Structure 1
Amino acid sequence: MRYHSHIVTSLCLGAAAAAHTSLSFTASYTAGVVIGSLLPDIDEPKSYVGRRSMGMSNKVKEAFGHRGMTHSLVVWGIIALVISWESSSLFASGFVLGYLFHILEDFFSVQGVPLFWPFTAKRFKIPIYRTGNLVEKSLFYAAFALLVYIGAKEQLFFEWWRSLALFR
């Protein structure tokens, strides 16, 4: 999935999570979702985050390959545990969810993800789309429309805008 698709689909899922839990759809939370939704692709030097990693992406890919360690639920669980232990902020919650959403979104690609790395390198998948194809583009637009719908119906955009007023 391309970076803009990860951002929009993760924001859509994050909006749904905020609408049905006690999470607040604030600027901090959405920033966490966006950053978390991009970070797993630090293992690909040509990715949006990889091109901005000052060479770290090359090292991660060399050590673990693309869609390796960074796409594992085991690694996500460790990251989630450490972050939740250190912070209870909305940014941290958004980050942990965004990271999980990225793995879930790539689970539906034809490449799949090694969900249980390091215990097994087997890639699990429900192959629905190939990166950049028409199905991914359709998922992007559907997620965008659903994000707008959920945001309007649940008044999440007002909540987000009010959270920005705190920074003024």
Structure 2
Amino acid sequence: MTEEPRLSARDLIGRLEPALSARVRIRAVTALLAGAAGAVFVSALWWTEPGPLPGHTQAAFALSAVFCLAWACYGGWLLTRRVPLFATDRLVAAYLGLVASLATTGVVTAVAVQRGTGAGPALVVGGLLVALSLTLAVRAHARRAALLRRARELAGEEDR
């Protein structure tokens, strides 16, 4: 009777189905389509504005378009992954959200101060968004660390 070779954790991971789960695929397609549609919409709105726009308005349009393109790129990147991500996708999305909320808070606060309407409301709402995105980033980092720790534990158990 022949004994089947024992597979290591890395071999098992390598033999996993190379496709993303339906949930991750839906999330990726949503990010790709929403990002692309947002970039097209913001760019079209920007290009069709009459007359010369103030600098802060130009910056706001550019920032919005860049973040939409970043989400579209994230969705495309996620769709092309054929290896286990160990929650890297969540970490990338969380940091993208954190950077977007920080930058948007900064731009909206600067515009509010420039107009003389007061920075208070902009800072409160922006602060809440930054706090939420920071919480998601911390949770994503912890999830990724736990998954990587578990993978190392499984790999270490085989060596015994």
Instruction: Provide TM-score, normalisation by structure 1.
Output: 0.29
If asked which structure has higher relative contact order (CA below 8 Å, sep 6+), I would say 1
Please identify which structure carries the higher helix content.
Answer: 2
Instruction: Provide TM-score, normalisation by structure 2.
Output: 0.30
